[in-house]
Structures are given as C-alpha cells and as structure tokens.
C-alpha cells in the first residue's frame, strides 16, 4: 500500500493508476491526513454509487459504457390510439 500527497498524485497520476491495476491500493493524503483510497475496480467490494457499479460491471465485461454523451435530448411523442402495452397483450392472446 502506497501513501501519496495530492500534488505528488497529480504529477504522477499515470504511474499510480498503473500500480492500482496491479492490485496495489493508494492512500491519498492532504497535508498528511488520509482523505481517499484509490484501488482497482476489481478490488472494490461493494460500489456505492451508480457510476461505480457501472464501472465495475464494465470492467467485468458485463456491459460496455458509452464513449460520448448523447448529442441532444429526446423529445416525447404523443400518439393516439391504444397503448402499446394493450396492443401487445391483445396480440399475444
């Protein structure tokens, strides 16, 4: 386990991230006080946030994360007639 200050981490981030991919944990300190822990996604026992859960699932090959944000928002469309769910149920029957 390595301990590193914020400025050192900022200057050598790539090197410390390589260490985490090899299984090492990095403790980040601010003026000598531990404030964060950096570890590989595989080592995370139980991700807390949705982003961390998605990242872990992507690392395990269960899904592929998007590489870019959507270019624009989608607009809802109002349609007349029966709801699609009703049409599907009737079609199955």
Q: For domain 2-66, is the CATH number 3.40.1620.10?
A: yes
The DSSP secondary structure of 34-76, one letter per residue, reads: EEEEE--GGG-SS--SHHHHHHHHHHTTS----SS--SSPPPP
Task: Please write the tens of the pLDDT for every residue from 53-83.
Answer: 887 888 788 988 887 777 777 788 888 888 8
Task: Please write the tens of the pLDDT for every residue from 30-59.
Answer: 988 898 889 888 777 776 778 778 878 887
Q: Is the overall model pTM greater than 0.85, yes or no?
A: no
**DSSP code, position 2:** E
């Amino acid at each position: 386990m390595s301990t590193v200050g914020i400025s050192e981490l900022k200057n050598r981030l790539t090197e410390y991230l390589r260490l985490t991919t090899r299984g090492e944990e990095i403790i980040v300190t601010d003026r000598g006080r531990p404030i964060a822990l950096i570890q590989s996604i595989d080592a995370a026992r139980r991700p807390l946030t949705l982003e961390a859960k998605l990242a872990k699932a992507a690392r395990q090959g269960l899904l592929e994360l998007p590489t870019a944000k959507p270019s624009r928002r989608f607009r809802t469309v109002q349609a007349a007639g029966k709801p699609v769910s009703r049409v599907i149920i009737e079609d199955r029957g």
